[in-house]
Amino acid sequence: MIPFTDLYSQYKDAKKDIDTAIKYCIEGNHFITGPVTQHFEQTIADYTGAKACASTGSGSTALLCALLGAGIGPGDEVITTPLSYVSTSEAILQCGSTPVYVDINWTYMIDEENISSAITKKTKAILFVDLYGQTPRIEKLKRIAKEKNLILIEDAAQSFGSSYKGKRVGSLVDLTCFSFNPLKNLGAMGDAGAVTGSKALIDKVKMYRDHGRRQPGVYETMGYNARIDNIQAKILEAKLPYIHEWIEGKREIVERYNKELIDWFIKPVEIKGSYHTYYVYVVQIPNRKHRDNFIKYMADNGVQCNTHYNRALTKQPAYKKFAKHSCSIAETFAERVVSLPCYHSLTKKQQKHIIEVANKFKDTVS
């Protein structure tokens, strides 16, 4: 079976650096906060080009603390996408505000042309998602945010290392939220996350991620225990020098997939000016039945596939009540998408097998 992911290959590549990082924390009793966290935050800020960074215990808490730091709260509305992992909408609700879903376009991301019609007097922010590894057309989002005086927040859980018109994700908008879940482009060996942005906003994010305090013993508001584990911070620093090589390895595989997979599959398209890091390689299949049969067929022939995501949030029991606008494109795409294995250590022989088996599936469709 060719697995959908292969995280051990990353460890093998960076083993010496990772082992040294873990040993440093254990021998020095560096487990929570302090110089290790501060150095990690500066490293992420420097890499992305952001003014400042606040590390968090996960991508989910990064989203929550970013929204709270931006002043989003009860009675506010936040425009977002219905095609995302649940954390995006979950964070909006956890800070007391309401998600307003705007449908997607051919990029799988929020349709910038439909945002303005969804804005009301209650709208406070736009929380968009860099789905699958690239960012949408930022200049259009910025124009809307400026005209309507809205905070622009980027859920970049899937796009660390991506860039738009030469500028890295993390330095493009007011606040950017990263996930360092083990499966992400830059993955820890547990949960971790970060928020980047201006120093003023990041200071507020840091307050919320540390029980509502900015100095010892003084609690300004209710906060959360959302701090990063220092071992995870050091592991991420150890892996960071390898990320470009890993991403380029994935992009080479994507080039082969795009060239050799038959056109029966709808293949991903890169936005002009966007450097796509392919967190996952996603294709569309004509309908849910064929998609589900395809996943089984691939497994029967030694290839593990996945879906990102198999149901739009507007069709999820906990979130469908917030579907005030038509999201038919997202709902349709969620019925059709399937993710193929795509990681830098995938051998040419494995790639060939994946392509051949995928292409043969069409012959089974009646």
pLDDT at 212: 97
pLDDT at 333: 97
Angstrom distance (rounded) from CA 155 to CA 1: 33
pLDDT at 287: 94
Per-residue confidence at 89, pLDDT binned at 50, 70, 90?
A: very high
Q: Are 159 and 177 within 8 A, CB to CB? A: no
What residue spans of the chain are helical by DSSP H? 8-28, 35-48, 59-69, 87-94, 138-148, 199-209, 230-239, 243-260, 288-300, 328-336, 348-361
Report the pLDDT averaged over residues 98-122.
Answer: 97
Distances (CA, A) of 165 to 108, 154, 177, 270: 19, 16, 19, 12
| 146-164 per-position pLDDT tens digit | 999 999 999 999 999 999 9
Angstrom distance (rounded) from CA 54 to CA 200: 11
Q: Are 87 and 157 within 8 A, CB to CB? A: yes
| 62-85 per-position pLDDT tens digit | 999 999 999 999 999 999 999 999
∠ CA(291), CA(297), CA(301), 5° rounding? 145
Report the pLDDT averaged over residues 129-144.
Answer: 97
Mean pLDDT score of the chain: 97
pLDDT at 254: 98
Report the pLDDT averaged over residues 110-137.
Answer: 97
Angstrom distance (rounded) from CA 163 to CA 174: 16
What percent of the chain clears pLDDT 90, i.e. is strictly above it?
A: 100
Q: Which residues of 82-91 are buried (b: 16+ CB within 10 A; e: fewer)?
A: bbbbebbbbb
171, with CB counted inside 10 A (0-12, 13-18, 19+), is middle
Report the pLDDT averaged over residues 180-194.
Answer: 98
| 244-254 per-position pLDDT tens digit | 999 999 999 99
pLDDT at position 366 over 90? no
What percent of the chain clears pLDDT 70, i.e. is strictly above it?
A: 100
Angstrom distance (rounded) from CA 219 to CA 235: 31
pLDDT at 227: 97
| 209-239 per-position pLDDT tens digit | 999 999 999 999 999 999 999 999 999 999 9
Report the pLDDT averaged over residues 113-126.
Answer: 97
Nearest to residue 160, comparing CAs of 179, 137, 183?
179
Nearest to residue 251, comparing CAs of 344, 132, 187?
344
Rg for the chain (alpha carbons), in Å? 21
334, with CB counted inside 10 A (0-12, 13-18, 19+), is buried
| 311-337 per-position pLDDT tens digit | 999 999 999 999 999 999 999 999 999
Per-residue confidence at 11, pLDDT binned at 50, 70, 90?
A: very high
pLDDT at 130: 98
Per-residue confidence at 125, pLDDT binned at 50, 70, 90?
A: very high
Tally of residues, the chain: 366
Q: Are 234 and 24 within 8 A, CB to CB? A: yes
pLDDT at 7: 96
pLDDT at position 141 over 90? yes
Domains of the chain (ranges; CATH) run 8-240 (3.40.640.10), 242-364 (3.90.1150.10)
